[in-house]
Structure 1
Amino acid sequence: MGSPEKNQNKGFFAAMSSSLSMFGSALHRSVNGLLGYEGLEVINPEGGKEDAEEEAQKGRWKQEERDGYWKMMQKYIGSDITSMVTLPVIIFEPMTMLQKMAELMEYSHLLDKADESEDPYMRLVYATSWAISVYYAYQRTWKPFNPILGETYEMANHGGITFIAEQVSHHPPMSAGHAENEHFTYDVTSKLKTKLLGNSVDVYPVGRTRVTLKRDGVVLELVPPPTKVNNLIFGRTWVDSPGEMIMTNLTTGDKAVLYFQPCGWFGTGRYEVDGYVYNAAEEPKILMTGKWNESMSYQPCDTEGEPLPGTDLKEVWHVAEIPENDKFQYTYFAHKLNSLETAPKRLLASDSRLRPDRYALERGDMSKASAEKSRLEERQRAEKRNREAQGHKFIPRWFDLTDEVSPTPWGDLEVYRYNGKYSQHRAAADNSENIDETVARSIQFNPWQYGNVSAE
């Protein structure tokens, strides 16, 4: 569904509702017994069921690696594999989950516009477009590194934003983040829940994301759709996020409800997003339509969801220019997240940029990346044994665990709150002498709070 004009006979809202009734119908195309592997599901997003056998031979795995991992992963089918399985570096990108959280800041100017807007419905247009914009980056098929407990990521020099994220729990893996500029504050507690389905995995964002617009204190809360990663081992890996995104203005009761269409036969509906901004009485005020990998547009509508006469569809967000033939499908902004260009003065030693496995992969040294990844994971286990032997409990530095438990569509979530200590640290560090790139890169990665335990 690209634009309202296509649906003049049945109405934009009716057409959208009709398309939703087909949710998931094209996503479940199993190829049982394909190539002798019972229960294997291979989905070609550009084809049909008859293309599955040819598609299964494609992808980044060598045949012997593919066969071995398929046998290993079968015992985990139906399980949450968030931190259960040690995966090979071949499927990783040189970025951590904490950096992935920071990618949401690429189009932060949309939140600045939301803060500046006096129209309460346009605020939601800007804010939801901001939330959708990151899905272009989320379609990458490489896995980010799981952060080490106590690991951090700092970002500066972008839109006047100060950003800090910290890994606050290892089992279950949880991260907390805070960003702020003159227009907004952004706070998130993130906890991923997964379900392995064999050659695919469902990812449920059990998190809480809130944005506070500073001009008048409006609080917005985001509930994103789940994500499905298809063809993990057999075939070319690709990502889809069919479902509902809801952005609620907790101050006024207005909300935006947007539907991410599932990928159908031969790519039908892939990337498409449609929905409405509603007032507190649940009356549609503005329709929104677009593709999460290209652009989003909006148009005022009547209470039936039809475009108002005399109004036009206007673009609110468009994906930025991207590098050609980038190995990891990175945007220019993603590359900046790995560089010291976005780093503040006197980078914390726990920062993701300093991880030796991540840095080795970025430089193309797969062997060193694999060895460093194993070494870091063993040091994390050693630190845990050391901490538990002393009867200590891990306590994050920049975020505090609250008594608040937030319900989500996929389970309850313990909420972490930014404690303000990073602002004090950063103010002191910014007044200090800067460190050049050579010195910064020589800082030893050190997230360990209970003994810098060596595995050697």
Structure 2
Amino acid sequence: MCLNLMGHLCLRSHQHSVPISITWQDDSGDEDDETASPADKSELHSTIKSLSLKLDDLSTCNDLIAKHGAALQRSLSELDSLKIPYESSEKLKVVNERATLFRITSNAMINACKDFLELAETHSRKWQRALQYEQEQRIHLEETIEQLAKQHNSLERAFRSAPGRATNPTKSFSEGSLLTPKGEDSEEDEDTEYFDAMEDSTSFITVITEAKEDRKAEGGTTGSVDWTSSDNVLDGASLVPKGPPKVKRRVRIPDKPNYSLNLWSIMKNCIGRELSKIPMPVNFNEPLSMLQRLTEDLEYHHLLDKAVHCTSSVEQMCLVAAFSVSSYSTTVHRIAKPFNPMLGETFELDRLDDMGLRSLCEQVSHHPPSAAHYVFSKHGWSLWQEITISSKFRGKYLSIMPLGAIHLEFQASGNHYVWRKSTSTVHNIIVGKLWIDQTGDIEIVNHKTKDRCQLKFLPYSYFSKEVARKVTGVVSDSQGKAHYVLSGSWDEQMECAKIVQSSPSSPGSDGKQKTVYQTLPAKLLWKKYPLPENAENMYYFSELALTLNEHEEGVAPTDSRLRPDQRLMEKGHWDEANTEKQRLEEKQRVSRRRRLEACSRGCGTEEEKEADVYVPLWFEKRLDPLTGETACMYKGGYWEAKERQDWHMCPNIF
């Protein structure tokens, strides 16, 4: 009963905290007046006053009880001194004992009421101070916002009235401020823009300037790179017209059923454990495997197709960086978990006709879960990676850490890019609406030219001045000279701006020095495709995601499209899917035990035994000379086997 009471109190506490969180997210301020108004303060005082009056009444009752109890006790003592029969004497003792118990109980009740009131008064003072503090903070924020708005307006007016561009624009703005006068009638109003400064060594402020003047001032310092001549490569890179596909693909899947499930009942005993080792029902999944999610990163492959034609390696780096960011755009609404692939499971994407590429994934390890991926494009690039998913359930949130390097090589130029994925965090696992965030830094390195791109994914915060899901970055050459500034958000779009001049700013109040980059107007690199109609009922799948699990003839028998539990879930038969999922997992456990028993060498842990015994079918372990790590790389043979329709070497995993 005590645990139930604690759970009830915790639930009540959470329910009372909800309006506060809504208040912080609501920009209108309509609900702020309700949560921190003087009426609430007076109501609190009124409640305490009422409780005090009630305690006074209880104290009066206590005095009366004590007075009448003492009189009753004396009367009973007088009766006890009389000479009465034995039977009456026994009854009198019983009455005396009951009167004593009554007096003790009454005193205990009054003491408990007094303790309650003292506790209420103590907490009421704390609540009053907290409420007063929140009111003062709100007033301070309102005054600050009003002051900033006035400063913003005055700056805009001063800028519009200025005869020319400011000689030292950084003096006009506070460090880390944001001024984006877009949407004005004149072109001059769009010539200056300040981006929020980052907090580490790559911190910077950018100033957009007029193109003509800065090309003159540039003096050819950027070598052969010509911004105007590269417009056809970088400008509007994401606005690729989609022609009618040669093969008609499906545009919808069955709507997601409305199944209810108590998440806490499943997760409460799993805190701190690997997510891959937790038996999860399909209710938390989406009808795609991790191999298909990995393939979905190729949705904006046209960025790499365009990058092939770049004559400048730093321009090419901008498109590669935009491609690396675009892979996260599908995750903003996709909080469901993909299916953990079976060991030996594969997934192919044979889209040479419309996408110009072929992709193959294979699950090469189960503990830890690891997938190898190889992509060949007929446009002149190839991509490969081995990604190991490390995930931890922390109680309130889930951390997903993809481990492993991603390689991208352009055949004509020999430019070889390497980078790693950032950390994904799923928030509000137990209570509230689930949402996902990407955080951390990504460094992309061109190992041929030594060009580098530093990307920073800013974590989301209710109190941050930054826009949600913001990404910033700088592209620099082998000498460390910055050429481009990147900015945008990982769920919407990315832009790049060419740097024509850089200089250090004066140190801020925190003692940190920012770099001021003077840039030309930004070019759009990538923009997210709109979601299909009714996407909210189809797991928020994109157009490409809707086609990934579409049935195709001629694929390997280990292909994710043929996985029965995943197919049942897609059709809406979740109960049957859960049963089938348990069968497949038990089959996989039996196969694993057989492999371990067959291991005759004195291996160490079970993971080491499995790594020695299991050999992937289409990939093999090799030493990566660039990273120094051992990773699975494609050894060939899959597409030839598909052409012959010879799948005798494939294991029976389904």
Both structures adopt the same fold (TM-score exceeding 0.5): yes
Counterpart residue number, 2:159: none
Paired with 2:262 and 2:348, the residues of 1 have a C-alpha distance of: 36
Find the counterpart in structure 2 of residue 398 from structure 1.
Answer: 618
Among 489, 493, 509, the alignment partner of 1:291 is 489
Structure 2 CA distance for partners of 1:281 and 1:205, relative to 1, 3 Å: same
The residue aligned with 2:326 is 133
Letter of the structure 1 residue corresponding to residue 597 of structure 2: A
1:86-143 deviation per Cα after TM superposition (whole angstroms, max 9, x unaligned): 1121110000000011011111111111121111111111111111111111231000
Aligned match of 1:149: 343
In 2: Cα distance, 1:205 partner to 1:255 partner: 21
TM-score, L = length of structure 1? 0.77
Structure 2: which amino acid aligns with 1:107?
Y
Matches within 5 A, 1:178-193: 178-182=374-378, 183-193=380-390
Amino acid at match of 1:135: Y
Distance 1:377 1:398 in 2: 22
Map of 1:373 onto structure 2: 581
Question: What letter matches 1:128 in structure 2?
Answer: A
Deviations 1:183-217 (A, max 9, x none): 21110011011232112121111111100011121
Structure 1 pair 70/421, CA: closer, same or farther in 2 (3 Å)? Answer: closer
Instruction: Confirm whether residue 363 of structure 1 aligns to residue 363 of structure 2.
Output: no
Q: Please state how far the C-alpha of 1:448 moved relative to its aligned partner.
A: 6.8
The SS at the match of 1:129 is helix
Contact 2:558–2:653 (CA under 8 A) maintained in structure 1: no
Q: 1:260 to 1:370 in 2, by over 3 A?
A: same
Partner in structure 2 of residue 172 of structure 1: 368
Q: State the Cα deviation string for residues 240-296 of structure 1 (Å, max 9, x = none).
A: 011112211011110111111111116853211111111112221100111111111
Q: Distance in 1 between matches of 2:542 and 2:279?
A: 27
Query: What is the rounded CA distance, in whole Å, between the counterparts of 2:308 and 2:280 in structure 1?
Result: 42
User: CA offset at residue 406 of structure 1?
Assistant: 7.9
More contact order relative to length (CA 8 Å, sep ≥ 6): 1
Change (3 A) 1:213 1:13: farther
Residue 7 (structure 2) aligns with? none
1:314 aligns with 2:529: no
Bigger CA radius of gyration: 2
Gaps of 5+ in 2: 1-155, 157-168, 177-192, 204-257, 504-514, 600-611
Residue of structure 1 equivalent to 2:284: 91
The residue type paired with residue 153 of structure 1 is F
Q: Distance in 2 between matches of 1:195 and 1:335?
A: 29
SS of 2:521's equivalent in the other structure is: coil
User: Where do residues 23-172 of structure 1 align in structure 2 (5 Å cutoff)?
Assistant: 62=260, 65-73=262-270, 76-77=271-272, 79=273, 81-139=274-332, 140-157=334-351, 158-172=354-368
Identity among equivalent pairs (%): 27
Name 1:220's counterpart in structure 2. Answer: 417
In structure 2, distance between residues paired with 1:453 and 1:219? 36
1:349 aligns with 2:557: yes
Partner Cα distance (2:322, 2:339) in 1: 27
Equivalent position SS for 2:335: coil
The answer to whether the Cα contact below 8 Å between 1:110 and 1:130 also exists between their aligned partners in 2 is yes
Counterpart for residue 418 of structure 1: 634
CA distance, structure 2, for counterparts of residue 15 and residue 337 of structure 1: 39
Distance (Å, rounded) in 2 between the aligned partners of 1:308 and 1:95: 45
Residues 303-362 of structure 1: CA distance to partner in whole angstroms, max 9, x if unpaired?
Answer: 3465546x211101111121133220110110011114xx5x511010001111111111
| SS in structure 2 at match of 1:368 | helix
CA distance in 1, matches of 2:201, 2:349: 38
CA distance, structure 2, for counterparts of residue 223 and residue 112 of structure 1: 21
Q: 1:105 to 1:253 in 2, by over 3 A?
A: same
**Are the equivalent residues in 2 in contact too, given 1:188–1:209 (CA < 8 A)?**
yes
Bigger fraction of residues in helix: 2
- Residue type at the aligned position of 2:366: H
The answer to whether residue 530 in structure 2 is matched with residue 324 in structure 1 is no
The worse-fitting range, judged by mean Cα deviation, of 154-163 and 98-107 is: 154-163
Structure 1 unaligned regions, length at least 5: 23-59, 433-442
Deviation digits for residues 349-403 of structure 1 (CA, Å, limit 9, x no counterpart): 1000111111111111111111111111011011112333344922111100124
CA contact (8 A) 1:283 1:303 kept: no
Query: What SS does the aligned partner of 1:193 have?
Result: strand
Cα distance change on mapping 1:65 and 1:240 into 2, 3 Å: same
Which of 544, 555, 558 is equivalent to 1:333?
544
Q: TM-score, normalised by structure 2?
A: 0.55
On the 8 A contact 1:406/1:415 being kept in 2, the answer is no
Aligned counterpart in structure 2 of residue 194 of structure 1, from 386, 391, 399: 391
